[in-house]
Amino acid sequence: MNRFLYIICLFVPLTLSAQEKHVTSTKMFGVGYNSVQDTYLSPEHYGGPEVRYLSHTVRERAEATCDSISMQEGKTRKNRWTRLIINEGYFSYGKSRSKNGATISGAYHFQYGVLRKWSFLANRLTLRSGAQAEFLGGFIYNTRNGNNPAQARALIDIGPVAMAEYALKCGNADGKGRITVAYEASCPLLGLTFSPNYGQSYYEIFNEGNYDRNIVPTTIVSMPSLRQQLTFTFCLSRINLSVGYLGDYRQLQVNNLKQHIYSSMLMIGMTHSFYAGRRRL
């Protein structure tokens, strides 16, 4: 019987595909402190409050394939690859140390990652690692400047990403009262960024068309940055409450200009897990 099924799998393009995807979606709002310095606008440091919205989605799909190894072992293979999708935006307002100037900044950040998954301790500990690509676009506006009051931000990059998740031994058998601790970190390795050159105005770039190395390759040396998040998820009666810390530390040094934007945020929101898709033959 097994030989007959094996022959069918060889000659008939039939894959028993479980198209159901397990999706864990987290929506969070955060408040915290933002520190900004951009030497194109001012050598001064600015600091103040920041608000942020974060959409964090993890998608996983398990597939059952009809192959000889699966049939010999009497089990199906599972796809252990995870997709990570992050959409977030923030807005901040900072004042100088002398309180006589201010900056207004904001940005949109998109991140897409593909990670390999490993499970340990009866699936209570989950580790993931892989690669991610991200895009960030935003602005910094200085209220004191007249000629060059604003700086545009635009970058794309790739780099590693890692996640760890641990379910504590607590709660009921149905999952109520369970606490899950998750940590996530990523950093850019290689990319491209937009930047005016030292002493160059935006009028020269866009009106006069004077290109002066304004699209700059970046590495971990010229753009040492780190994004990390620690989250505690509490499984309550009908909801999953997520509380945590988000640290987003970005630095850039190109075209004889320096920029840093540091964010330290307290995040709170809701986590929802569900299955999407359908099974098919």
Q: Within a 10 A sphere around the Cβ of 125, how many other Cβ atoms?
A: 13
- Judge: domain 23-280, CATH 3.40.50.620: no
8 Å CB contact between 217 and 254: no
The full 3-state SS of 71-121, as one line of letters, equals HHHCCCCCCCEEEEEEEEEEEEEEEECCCCCEEEEEEEEEEEEEEEEEEEC
pLDDT in tens, the chain (281 residues): 455 444 444 444 444 344 578 899 999 999 999 999 999 999 999 999 999 999 999 999 855 444 444 444 444 456 689 999 999 999 999 999 988 899 999 999 999 999 999 999 988 999 999 999 999 999 999 998 888 899 999 999 999 999 999 999 776 656 677 899 999 999 999 999 999 999 999 999 998 888 989 999 999 999 999 999 999 999 987 789 999 999 999 999 999 999 999 999 999 999 998 888 755 44
Q: CA–CA separation, 39 vs 55, rounded Å?
A: 31
Contacts of 123 (CB under 8 A, 6+ apart): 167
Q: CA–CA separation, 24 vs 240, rounded Å?
A: 11
Angle, alpha carbons 224-226-231 (nearest 5°): 175
pTM for the whole structure: 0.84
8 Å CB contact between 54 and 84: no
Q: Within a 10 A sphere around the Cβ of 254, how many other Cβ atoms?
A: 20
pLDDT 10s digits, 217-226: 999 999 999 9
8 Å CB contact between 130 and 73: no
Segments making up each domain of the chain, as ranges: 23-280
8 Å CB contact between 131 and 113: yes
Contacts of 40 (CB under 8 A, 6+ apart): 148, 151, 195, 196, 198, 257, 259
Angle, alpha carbons 73-67-130 (nearest 5°): 90
pLDDT 10s digits, 38-94: 999 999 999 999 999 999 999 998 554 444 444 444 444 566 899 999 999 999 999
